[in-house]
Structure 1
């Protein structure tokens, strides 16, 4: 029986906790040979959360074995609430001791600061939420902060970006222990669209180019997001936005810095990268995202600095 021990810190984000907990709970229910037992510990019985729903935990740590995982969900940063994000010296020592005894320690979002307080990030590659990366590097200069990735593993210390990326981290740990197929089964049971790779960007194309306020461009992006694998003539996109083709080209460029075609290509590249990272050949990934063959996919991946996988 493998224990997944969640260390709950005051001010924690519910999804930082619930996402990974759901992954391991689903694995225990759906996978043969995956007997996981979830436990929740804290420095106090009642733990306030950033979303206002208090959670209860035990203050007594279980006996830990090397195969167990201790995970620290993140918390809301910079609120001024006294005690939020606080990890005492005794708790930090427990984290360090578990790792020293051969165990795995993981964090989601600001949970990386708890691992850093335990000395577990010194000299190691790590990551955290993109808004906290500079602060982590400033406070802990011996940590090698890797920016704009979903999760990083270095010497049984696993750190991930913010909020929903905890699901990716937990699926990664399932894949390491039980294989990619098992992780895919868990993701499917959870209705997770795709298991993202650790080196995927924290902010995908849909988020990077959606911060504008132009309704017409958003309507066009909605169509491209839903049908990126299909041929989408500019006339059809303009009709979706309720503007002329010329006006769409001008508005789209002003709002996103891209043409509609380039935005569609970025989505295709991202989705192809997910497929290739899960073992799909370049040719099959190219066809799945709408390219006629792999040559265009390889060319675009080369232009964006992506490393083209071998067929």
Structure 2
């Protein structure tokens, strides 16, 4: 069972909290082993929108490296330090030091900074809070105009609804793009805001359209991206000709063919495996490349200039 611990500050924004909670609870409803815990320094937390929320003051015991700690943002974060005591900040830092992932939504990045997790790392926050974050934590690199950043298991997202995008990305990294796409469709969140973020999941970047035929084909590719998939097979499953599918797909995704979309998913998954210690040969085999040289060529082609 993977725990998702949501740390609630006084004045927590409801959507900062509800977005990640909905993503992971939807994944749990689809059979993934997620359990959500709501923790705070007091049992009753008043949200920024006035709704009172209950929280546990005792943290779940024995959080492990596969568990996720999420800090949603709160109102008036620019006034003084984050509303957490030293003990809570120490727990945030300890979870990361133990190999766990720590994520923030909006002003929640302030708590990560106070816990010492932003020094030397890239991060982001709500556009109205970016200057303040950079001032408070001069040893971090605040990335502007992006939905979220990831840097050594420290994941920060921009304002409010971007917590949904962050959480879908984490699902895609942990379980592959098919689950993230399934959760996104269940939540009716195909559209991407600011889709130029290079670290965003391909499942999300290329779902900002309303073409049901293309969505069906993407669902198939997302589920079986490591398998050989011919254009004729995809077209037959969609009930259209290969020529029509190519035309619809490239129009909906901004220029990608079905094959290029599949390669993008393979490359994204391979990069994750490589970052976690896999060899190029192992990663290539895992994502469906019979020849590791193909993975090397794709990585070189997509490397920053």
Task: Give the TM-score, by structure 1 length.
Answer: 0.64
Residue pairs, 1:132-211, within 5 angstroms? 132-194=129-191, 199=197
Q: Structure 1 segments of 4 or more deviating over 4 A?
A: 195-198, 281-285
Give the paired residue count. Answer: 223
Query: After superposition, what is the alpha-carbon deviation per residue over 1:126-168, rounded to whole angstroms, capped at 9, x for unaligned?
Result: 0001111110000110111111100100000000001000000
Task: Determine the structure 2 residue equivalent to 1:14.
Answer: 14
Q: Structure 1 residues 104 and 286, CA, compared in 2 at 3 Å: closer, same or farther?
A: same
Task: Determine the structure 1 residue equivalent to 2:290.
Answer: none
1:59 alignment partner, one of 53, 57, 60? 57
Post-superposition shift, 1:287? 2.0
**Residues in 1 aligned to 2:43 and 2:101: alpha-carbon distance in whole angstroms:** 24
Find out whether 1:119 has 2:83 as its counterpart: no
Post-superposition shift, 1:192? 1.2
Residue pairs, 1:1-311, within 5 angstroms? 1-31=1-31, 34-63=32-61, 64-77=63-76, 85-194=82-191, 199=197, 285-288=249-252
**In angstroms, what is the RMSD of aligned CA positions?**
3.5
Does the aligned pair in 2 maintain the 1:184–1:195 contact within 8 Å? no
**Residues in 1 aligned to 2:23 and 2:36: alpha-carbon distance in whole angstroms:** 11
Does the aligned pair in 2 maintain the 1:126–1:158 contact within 8 Å? yes
What runs of 5+ residues in structure 2 fail to find an aligned partner? 200-208, 211-221, 226-230, 232-245, 258-300
Task: Give the TM-score, by structure 2 length.
Answer: 0.65
Does the aligned pair in 2 maintain the 1:151–1:198 contact within 8 Å? no
Query: After superposition, what is the alpha-carbon deviation per residue over 1:267-300, rounded to whole angstroms, capped at 9, x for unaligned?
Result: xxxxxxxxxxx89x99765422688x9xxxxxxx
Secondary structure at the aligned position of 1:173 is classed as helix
**Residues in 2 aligned to 1:283 and 1:199: alpha-carbon distance in whole angstroms:** 25
Post-superposition shift, 1:309? 7.6
Q: Structure 1 residues 174 and 94, CA, compared in 2 at 3 Å: closer, same or farther?
A: same
Q: Structure 1 residues 92 and 290, CA, compared in 2 at 3 Å: closer, same or farther?
A: closer
Query: After superposition, what is the alpha-carbon deviation per residue over 1:247-278, rounded to whole angstroms, capped at 9, x for unaligned?
Result: xxxxxxxxxxxxxxxxxxxxxxxxxxxxxxx8
Does the aligned pair in 2 maintain the 1:174–1:183 contact within 8 Å? yes
Pair member with larger Rg: 1
Query: After superposition, what is the alpha-carbon deviation per residue over 1:66-117, rounded to whole angstroms, capped at 9, x for unaligned?
Result: 110000000112686x99x411111000000010001000000000000000
Query: After superposition, what is the alpha-carbon deviation per residue over 1:11-30, rounded to whole angstroms, capped at 9, x for unaligned?
Result: 11000000100000000111
Post-superposition shift, 1:194? 3.6
Q: Structure 1 residues 147 and 22, CA, compared in 2 at 3 Å: closer, same or farther?
A: same
Task: Determine the structure 2 residue equivalent to 1:207.
Answer: none
Query: After superposition, what is the alpha-carbon deviation per residue over 1:43-74, rounded to whole angstroms, capped at 9, x for unaligned?
Result: 01111111000101010001211110000000
Post-superposition shift, 1:191? 1.3
**Residues in 1 aligned to 2:123 and 2:184: alpha-carbon distance in whole angstroms:** 24
**Residues in 1 aligned to 2:94 and 2:164: alpha-carbon distance in whole angstroms:** 25
